Amino acid sequence: MEIVSQLAQEYNTTNTIVENIIELLEAKNTIPFIARYRKEQTGNINDEVLRQLVERWEYLTGLEDKKTETLKRLEELGHLTDELKNEVLAAQTLQRIEDLYRPFRPKRRTRASMAIEKGLKPLADLMIEGLIADDELLVSAKDFLTEDVETIEDAINGAKDIVAEQVSDDANHRALAKKYIERTGKYKSKGIEEDIHPYEMYEEHEELYRTTPGYRVLAMNRGEKEKKLRVGIEVNHEQVIQLLEHYIVKGGSQKLLKEAIEDGWKRLMFPALERELRQLSTETAQEEAISVFGRNLRPLLMQAPLRDKVVLALDPGFRTGCKVVVLGREGQLLDNDVIYPTEPRNDIKGSMKKLLPLISKYSVDYIAIGNGTASRETEQFVAQMIDEHKLSIFYTIVNEAGASIYSASELGKAEFPDHDVTVRGAVSIGRRLQDPIAELVKIHPRNLGVGQYQHDLNNQRLDQVLTNVVEDCVNTVGVDLNTASPALMEYVSGVNSKVAKSIVEYRTINGRFTNRKQLKEVKGLGAKTFEQCAGFMRIADGNEPLDNTAVHPESYELARRVQSEAEGKSSAELAELWEVGLFTLKDILAELEKPGRDPRDEGEAPLFRQDVLGLDDLDVGMTLSGQVRNVVDFGAFVDIGVKQDGLIHITEMSDKFCKDPHSVLKVGDKVDVTIINLDKEKERIGLSMRTSQNKGKKKTVN
């Protein structure tokens, strides 16, 4: 109950709702199912917040388990006191429990443990109790002389080693020092090589630990890993030592005790706390970067599809040529070829001679150009072709990240066994324009190029978060039961890869699904899986119209009643009259108003163009239209139609102070930007969205 109350308070909800969520999870319901079809029990908490609450619940549950385990260990070791028990029970973090257990944890042999073996623990107790002066302590040390402890100096040094370790291990001392470092400590980095490297800005860098942005933490870590930087946390050691002395030294000069405290701090506590705090800031930075990944992935997947359009896709290349495919309105491969419009052949005429008949024969609506090697050179060729032949056709640049991975995958081979990787890669580029989510789920989300510091992140955690995002997006959109690939279907609530393959096999053998009920005939798809997945499966031309909506089969009877009896009554009136949940009723009404609707239609469409710019065409002060490609902690990268994306720094995103770039922009957004700085040699373009900068000549690329 304590955990339930804590979660209710943290998420501004009620104990009953938290209990309902936990009960639903323990009954093996998925997050998408709970968020969509159990709104009455959850108070209409959305999937993102629901996942956060579940993660917090799992942490707090693990914390309670850790407390129980730690108390049991302490009791077995004979160290459990009422005071220690209360401190463990009051701990709010796993780290606090670790700190409380630290003094009693079995250790490797240390200077302190060897001193204890020599019988010097009582002398150390006299020292730390501070009840006798230093000269009396020296006298007392004579009583501890043995074959192993030959001199008074040996005895005092051994006692100081014991005290130093006790000071370092004490949970309250550590908490005190840790809080001080967090408040006043500084991250400091220094270059250790004179050669030019990407970390030059960190060669003489320092800033407060508590205000260092996550992306700079990850950058310094990488520089340190590559042996370009020396990184650490700088603190005022004298002040920390004085702080510890204030809490430990009870009176008098106690010079020997103070020496032990200083040794405990510098030799033991500070190195450990520095590692701990750097690890903590790294984990926080990784979580922030993973969050950026997820926040960028969601709008990428939710981009508006280009329905019922024929697309000619180009996968650019220099020596190996530019791969060409034509995709039908449902993404089927109609034709393919190779052209060489760029270096080294520069066969502009021959390339047009191949493309123009394809465009005419298949009535191509749009051209998709991959953004990899030779992308801008290919774009120039396409723009030239459109201009010379007065084509009423538009092109767009498509992010091809991961296309090569798909083309060499087992899934790619299975879809196009008679074509090589170059054709499959071009198909992936074109299909991303036609139906982004259906194509992008075929590639691991971490390979889609919408994050930062990817190689510095915890891969397991990154995969978990990104998979959750994909799952939420797929279930928000729903899938066509008769066309969805196994790769798309396995993200549907309750469906795993094995069941997804079984659904496709059933479809292949028995033909198109005409009713959701047929799912129950699929091998391995039981009653629970049907409950979880049915509402997210769509059948466009089946024998049950409700199968093409997000209405769950369990609510069909209510939906039919709404269709026949709801006219002239409000949602609240109907909910009260029929004794049904208001959230569920509103969702049914929304689905009946727009059956088969796709939430992606409300998103941004790709930015289509007919002409092209080069860096030499740009000037400071010029205003252009562009599309956001990636949003990071320090700003956003925007495709403005030239070879290099421009950067809108966080300080140039708004006339007002901007703390989080994601609060202003998302991947796929169309924006008007002004060039505020331009380095053509380094191909760097600085952009601004501030109205005060928008004074130059307008050049809209469209």
Could you tell me what percent of the chain has a pLDDT over 90?
83
Confidence tier at 250 by pLDDT (50, 70, 90): confident
* Inter-residue contact 396 to 368 (CB < 8 Å): yes
* Inter-residue contact 550 to 36 (CB < 8 Å): yes
Confidence tier at 698 by pLDDT (50, 70, 90): low
Q: Which two tokens stand for residue 375?
A: 């992308």
Average pLDDT over residues 635-639: 93
The residues pairing with 279 across neighbouring beta strands, listed in sequence order, are: none
Other C-beta atoms lying within 10 Å of the C-beta of residue 88: 20
Could you tell me what percent of the chain has a pLDDT over 70?
98
- Give the CA angle between residues 391, 610, 374 to the nearest 5°: 110
- The pLDDT value given to residue 610: 86
Domains and CATH numbers, the chain: 2-104 (1.10.10.650), 311-434 (3.30.420.140), 615-693 (2.40.50.140)
* Inter-residue contact 341 to 351 (CB < 8 Å): yes
- The pLDDT value given to residue 244: 95
Average pLDDT over residues 151-177: 96
Q: Which two tokens stand for residue 683?
A: 């191909």
Compute φ and ψ for 482, nearest 5 degrees: -95, -5
What does the alpha-carbon distance between residue 10 and residue 7 come to, in Å, rounded to a whole number?
Answer: 5
Q: Three-class SS of residue 638?
A: strand
pLDDT single digits (tens) 291-315: 999 999 999 999 999 999 999 999 9
Q: Where is average pLDDT lowest: 204-208, 512-516, 576-580, 610-614?
A: 610-614
Say yes or no to pLDDT of 702 above 50: no
Confidence tier at 617 by pLDDT (50, 70, 90): confident
Q: Under the phi-then-psi rule, with left for phi > 0, alpha for psi from -120 to 50, and beta for the rest, what region is 533? A: alpha
pLDDT single digits (tens) 479-496: 999 999 999 999 999 999
Average pLDDT over residues 437-451: 89
Closest by CA position to 596, among listed 658, 541, 678, 675:
541
Confidence tier at 694 by pLDDT (50, 70, 90): low
DSSP string, 222-248: HHHHTTSEEEEEE--HHHHHHHHHHHH
Average pLDDT over residues 670-681: 92
- The pLDDT value given to residue 603: 79
**Which of residues 183 and 597 earns the better pLDDT score?**
183
Say yes or no to pLDDT of 452 above 80: no
The length of the chain in residues reads 702
Q: Is 209 exposed, middle or buried (0-12, 13-18, 19+ CB in 10 A)?
A: buried
Mean pLDDT, the chain, rounded, equals 93
- The pLDDT value given to residue 574: 87
Say yes or no to pLDDT of 90 above 80: yes
- The pLDDT value given to residue 699: 52
Confidence tier at 252 by pLDDT (50, 70, 90): low
- The pLDDT value given to residue 108: 86
Closest by CA position to 450, among listed 272, 295, 276, 245:
295
Q: Quick one: DSSP state of residue 698?
A: B
CA distances from 522 to 19, 193, 490 (A): 34, 63, 14
Alpha helices in 80-201 (DSSP H): 82-90, 94-101, 111-117, 121-129, 134-141, 152-169, 171-184
- The pLDDT value given to residue 130: 84
Say yes or no to pLDDT of 330 above 80: yes
Say yes or no to pLDDT of 477 above 90: yes
Average pLDDT over residues 675-686: 91
Give counts: helices (H), strands (E), the chain. Answer: 29, 15
Other C-beta atoms lying within 10 Å of the C-beta of residue 386: 20
Question: Is pTM, for the whole model, over 0.85?
Answer: yes
pLDDT single digits (tens) 130-148: 888 899 999 999 999 999 9
* Inter-residue contact 99 to 172 (CB < 8 Å): no
